[in-house]
């Protein structure tokens, strides 16, 4: 496994929560921390890109990005497009989980993401998805390094 990857055993997987609703960010971050993850937060796409840029400069990579689609400023779809266009191919790309209201399902389906969760959601269901994705991601990293 890469030494600079935050999925190593000595660090908790980072989950970036990108949502304009502070109550959702707080609730999800709290649950993630209790479940052993390192949460990070951004209120919209531009802030999320800045967070990712800073983290990558420090050699830290989010394992999962929880992404709301409908946000003021830079929306989730634009964020994802920009993230993909500037991502260094040698680094592990984060698993993307789109969190959206029912009206955003069609847009979410077109984004080629790992999972779509419809609001309102149960935190335990969200954690189940993140656990599944991070276990899969660790296996992928082991295959790449072996």
> Where are the chain's structural domains?
14-140
Residues 1 and 138: their CA atoms lie apart, in Å, by 9
List pLDDT tens digits, range 1-58.
Answer: 344 444 444 579 999 999 999 999 999 999 999 999 999 999 999 999 999 999 999 9
pLDDT tens-digit series, residues 44-101: 999 999 999 999 999 999 999 999 999 999 999 999 999 999 999 998 899 999 998 8
7: left (phi over 0), alpha (psi -120 to 50) or beta: alpha
Which of 60, 114, 115 lies closest to 92 in space, CA to CA?
60
CA gap 116, 119 in Å, rounded: 10
- Residue with token string 């929306």: 75
What pLDDT score does 107 carry? 80
CATH class of the domain whose range is 14-140: alpha beta
Closest CA to 65 of 34, 104, 33, 95: 95
């Amino acid at each position: 496994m890469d030494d600079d990857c935050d999925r190593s055993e000595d660090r908790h997987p980072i989950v970036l929560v990108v949502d304009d609703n502070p109550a959702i960010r707080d609730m999800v971050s709290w649950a993630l921390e209790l479940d052993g993850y390192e949460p990070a937060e951004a209120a919209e796409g531009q802030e999320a890109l800045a967070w990712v840029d800073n983290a990558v400069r420090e050699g830290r990579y989010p394992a999962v990005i929880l992404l709301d689609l409908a946000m003021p400023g830079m929306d989730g779809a634009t964020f994802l497009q920009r993230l993909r266009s500037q991502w260094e191919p040698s680094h592990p790309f984060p698993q993307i989980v789109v969190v959206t209201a029912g009206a955003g399902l069609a847009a979410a389906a077109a984004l080629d993401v790992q999972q779509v969760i419809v609001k309102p959601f149960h935190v335990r269901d969200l954690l189940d998805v993140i656990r599944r994705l991070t276990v899969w991601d660790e296996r992928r990293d082991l295959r790449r390094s072996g």
